[in-house]
Amino acid sequence: MNSAQPWPGVIRRYASFLPVTAETPVVTLLEGNTPLIPVPAFVSAIGGRFDLRLKYEAMNPTCSFKDRGMTMAITKARERGAKVVVCASTGNTSASAAAYAARAGLKCVVLLPKGKIAMGKLSQALLYGATTVSIEGNFDDALRIVRELGEAGQVEVVNSVNPVRIEGQKTAAFEICDALGDAPDFHFLPVGNAGNITAYWKGFREYAEAGLSDTLPKMMGWQAAGAAPLVLGHPVANPETVATAIRIGNPASWQGAVEAARDSGGSIRSVTDDEILHAYKLLARTEGIMVEPACAAPLAGLIQSIAAGEIPDGALVTATMTGHGLKDPDTAIRVAGFEPHIVPASKEAVMAVMGL
């Protein structure tokens, strides 16, 4: 695309790869076009000798990658004349649905697992004006109810069980190929409901089939150990992890995730909460990049992959940083390990803290 032209959002940029026509009433907040940030200090801190670039999806309008799928889902809802959209969410889907529904003038209802939503995400859904329902259950319970509402036919479901969400999300893979001139050797990402790994794999394949890239990456998906149904091979009844965005026991895109890992020669494995929080803090301290805990799952996974000798020297590795660290300030403050120094308002007191 001509760099002199303003970025038009993912639907208009990649229209030829998406189920839209010239008449489709596009609802966009100009999502996409997110940075691919090199992180050499982080790589050397974990003992790697390869080129790692982070696809920093925090730079989307509601600060997570969910906006790529939501621009499609809300656009199609409007095209079909829907009046009400509904979703189940671990937080970011609800923030995104609420924002795009507000933009489109649609009513939005979000179902959240009670007490398990990071504060930033809850604040978004409430401020954008979505009817916000806390379910006394987990994400999987909320998604079951949303599916039932969808079958009753009165509402448009905008979870990733809606296939147009996956279509929008695959544009992140296109952007990575556009930025690098080809696909990377490996792509790392967190896996929760498994829509995103399914979407990236679809995107990488479609770009190669269109002749816009030559190679395909190995897809390396990472779950939290307490919420790792794809690793265990069966649903988990009570998923638990500090990474609330991937606290899911029965992923909707199970098959897509398994195929992405298998067909690309990659894998889906798990990391513990301790490993996640270690990588989360290390990224912030070595690179000045704040992500939400779920994003640190693939970074912790990278540490495992290095130990297993899986990443050749000089490889080109990309990883999706799915959401912004400010979404979950409680975890940031807890993990930082210290609190502000409280001192009298004098230069001397500040110098004392500085050790001068």
Q: Does 299 bind ligand PLP (CB under 6 A)?
A: no
Q: Does 76 bind ligand PLP (CB under 6 A)?
A: no
Q: Does 191 bind ligand PLP (CB under 6 A)?
A: yes
Site string for ligand PLP, 110-149 (x = CB under 6 A): ----------------------------------------
* Footprint on residues 146-175 left by ligand PLP (CB under 6 A): 160
Residue nearest to ligand PLP (CB): 323
Q: Does 92 bind ligand PLP (CB under 6 A)?
A: yes
Q: Which stretch binds ligand PLP (CB under 6 A): 171-179, 194-202, 225-233, 259-267?
A: 194-202
Number of residues located near ligand PLP, criterion CB under 6 A: 17
Q: Which stretch binds ligand PLP (CB under 6 A): 185-193, 231-239, 275-283, 342-350?
A: 185-193
* CA dihedral for 149, 151, 155, 158, sign (positive or negative): positive
Q: Which residues are 280's β-sheet partners?
A: none
Chain centroid to CA 64: 6
Q: Which is nearer to ligand PLP, 67 or 178 (CB)?
A: 67
Q: Which stretch binds ligand PLP (CB under 6 A): 27-35, 187-195, 205-213, 266-274?
A: 187-195
Integer Cα distance of 251 and 257 in angstroms: 9
Residue 191: phi and psi, rounded to 5, are -130, 120
Q: Does 294 bind ligand PLP (CB under 6 A)?
A: yes
From the CB of 191, what's the least distance to ligand PLP, in Å?
Answer: 5
Residue 293 neighbours by CB under 8 Å, 6+ apart = 242, 243, 244, 245, 276, 277, 280, 328, 331
Q: Does 271 bind ligand PLP (CB under 6 A)?
A: no
From the CB of 214, what's the least distance to ligand PLP, in Å?
Answer: 27
From the CB of 151, what's the least distance to ligand PLP, in Å?
Answer: 21
Residue 107: phi and psi, rounded to 5, are -80, 140
Pick one of 9, 190, 239, 256: the residue that binds ligand PLP (CB under 6 A).
190
Pick one of 94, 264, 270, 322: the residue that binds ligand PLP (CB under 6 A).
322
Q: Which residues are 190's β-sheet partners?
A: 222
**Both tokens of residue 257?**
């995730």
Q: Which is nearer to ligand PLP, 91 or 184 (CB)?
A: 91
Pick one of 32, 48, 192, 256: the residue that binds ligand PLP (CB under 6 A).
192
Q: Does 331 bind ligand PLP (CB under 6 A)?
A: no
Pick one of 149, 173, 194, 300: the residue that binds ligand PLP (CB under 6 A).
194
Q: Does 323 bind ligand PLP (CB under 6 A)?
A: yes
Integer Cα distance of 354 and 348 in angstroms: 10
Integer Cα distance of 94 and 39 in angstroms: 30
Tell me which H or E stretch contains 12.
helix 10-13
From the CB of 99, what's the least distance to ligand PLP, in Å?
Answer: 14
From the CB of 190, what's the least distance to ligand PLP, in Å?
Answer: 4
Q: Does 96 bind ligand PLP (CB under 6 A)?
A: no
* Greatest extent of the chain over all pairs of C-alpha atoms, in Å: 69
Contact 321, 237 (CB under 8 A): no
Integer Cα distance of 245 and 323 in angstroms: 9
Residue 276: phi and psi, rounded to 5, are -60, -50
Integer Cα distance of 327 and 334 in angstroms: 14
Query: DSSP letters along 149-217, please?
Result: HHHHTSSEE-STTSHHHHHHHTHHHHHHHHHHSS--SEEEEE-SSSHHHHHHHHHHHHHHHTTS-S--P
Pick one of 292, 300, 311, 317: the residue that binds ligand PLP (CB under 6 A).
292
Q: Which is nearer to ligand PLP, 51 or 259 (CB)?
A: 259
Binding site for ligand PLP (CB under 6 A): 64, 66, 92, 160, 190-196, 245-246, 292, 294, 322-323
